[in-house]
Chain A
Amino acid sequence: MTQTISLINMKGGVGKSTLTVNLAWHFAAYSNWSKRVLVVDLDPQFNASQYLVGVHKYMNIINDNRPTIWEIFEQHTRTPAGKTQKITPAESVRSVARVRHGGKIDLIPSRLELSLSLRNPGQKEYLLQKTITKIKDNYDLILIDCAPTESVLTTAAYLASDFILVPVKPEYLSTIGLPLLVNSMRDFHEQYEEHNINLCGIVFNAVTYYSPEEMKSKNEVITLSKNNGWYYFRNEIPYSRSYPKGAREGQPIFRTSYARTEQALKFALFAEEFAGRIGI
């Protein structure tokens, strides 16, 4: 069964895009996973797209007349000529990597214009879910990289997902993003009662292990999680310069030779724990 997971946190820069792309690579190409993974870039900043493809390929994407995530959200918008532009979901999917034994990474890319969609949010929240339903059989895992601000896109992500994965940096302001997020999930539950989303867990990202402030933030989050019955991942992701460097090169952590094996291994341990949580 396909599992769809949104990486969400209303706090910016906590590692949503970094984890999305590294998880995609992990399950497509690391060890013997060979999973079919789809990454959905749901952020007008299009960081996940930038990470997964380079400038030339991205240029082709926005010029090839095939839909991106923007067109998916605008398919019911009337053009000046009075037409609506129904899209074929499969056409929005671009191939990023084909790995041996059937593993692959595909991408529904984003573009800056997606931010324009937010100006007219009416009735758009179901469009992503509808699109994904039509193509999900081609995948084992679908990862949605969300934008850091709450909008119709967040609702769309909730509606399309089985699970929410929440990266948190163990820093004071970043941890306050957590109750904000849970609040947003509650609001969602009230409005869309029929739809069930599960908090897959909270993962600490960019942990340095040496500041007392960091320890304090971490402990606070753990206590909060325990009190509310939220799962937090026992495997944390350490701070490593290899993450930004990998992004620049378009490579996952396990392929960056300068990542000390230990760091790549720690990510792999987290990914395995994640797999157990979502049942893949």
Chain B
Amino acid sequence: MNYNKEYELLKDLAKLLQKHGPESFKSLALLFSDKELAETISNILFEVHHHSELIKKTQKKLSKNKTLRSSIIELNKDDPERTNLLLSIYDKLEENKYLPTLKQIRLFCEDNALKPISARSRKSAINQFVKVMMELSSSDISSVKKLLDEKPEDRTLDGWSSIILNRKEDKMPNQTLKADK
């Protein structure tokens, strides 16, 4: 009998053993002795695999020379709300209404735990950004859009002066500046 396949698997496992250490292997084996847990894990693994296949498919489709815009429409045809959300983000980026510089796109991703942008021009950064959006759930896309819709920050002396000079003296705690207006 030929054990080639099993041998290959063992070789891979040996590499993983080196990477994760024998202790993690032992504790994992212990976890797997619980049947229910083993089943849950294998389901999760299947889901993860399925999801990453989906992402790969999306990326493949995207790379087929289509415009990003038409891909957004095609990939989300069953979900018009999602399509609108993505298109609105895409369009506002293109129109410089969101994150008008490459640096701002990069920092936005960094500050909001989104996949880092490697692109070197704003145009390709927009594409990369929208592709990252396409991998998110609709509710996550909405939260990102909310952040994008926030007014661009003001750090001028004038801005700070108006906060500092409008304050009311001797207020009690928890009263707010609202009362001033």
Chain A residues proximal to chain B, CB less than 8 Å: 29, 50, 53-59, 62-65, 67, 70-71, 74-75, 77, 79-80, 85, 97-101, 112-113, 116, 248-251, 255, 257
Contact = CB atoms under 8 A, between A and B. Distances in A.
Ranked nearest first, the 7 interchain pairs of A and B with the lowest CB-CB distance are A54-B153, A55-B159, A74-B173, A55-B154, A97-B111, A71-B173, A98-B113
Contacts of B113: 98-101
B39 interface: no
Given A63-B177, A63-B178, A116-B170, A55 B111 contact: no
A77 B172 contact: yes
A167 B173 CA distance: 32
B171 interface: yes
Interface in B138-169: 150-151, 153-156, 159-160, 162-164, 167
A185 to B, nearest CB: 30
Contacts of A58: 163
A249 B155 contact: yes
9 contacts: A50-B155, A57-B153, A70-B173, A77-B173, A79-B172, A98-B112, A98-B113, A113-B167, A251-B107
Interface of B: 103, 107, 110-116, 150-151, 153-156, 159-160, 162-164, 167, 170-174, 176-178
Contacts of B155: 50, 54-55, 248-250
Nearest to B115: A100
Given A55-B154, A112-B164, A62 B176 contact: yes
B176 A56 contact: no
A71 B167 contact: no
Contacts of A70: 173
A80 B172 contact: yes
Given A62-B176, A113-B167, A113-B171, A55 B150 contact: no
Contacts of A250: 153, 155
Contacts of A64: 176
Nearest to A81: B172
Contacts of B154: 54-56
B116 A100 contact: yes
Given A58-B163, A112-B164, A250-B155, A85 B110 contact: no
A58 B97 CA distance: 23
A59 B167 CA distance: 11
Contact of B163 (A59, A75, A77, A80): A59
Contacts of A65: 174, 176
B111 A98 contact: yes
A169 B50 CA distance: 58
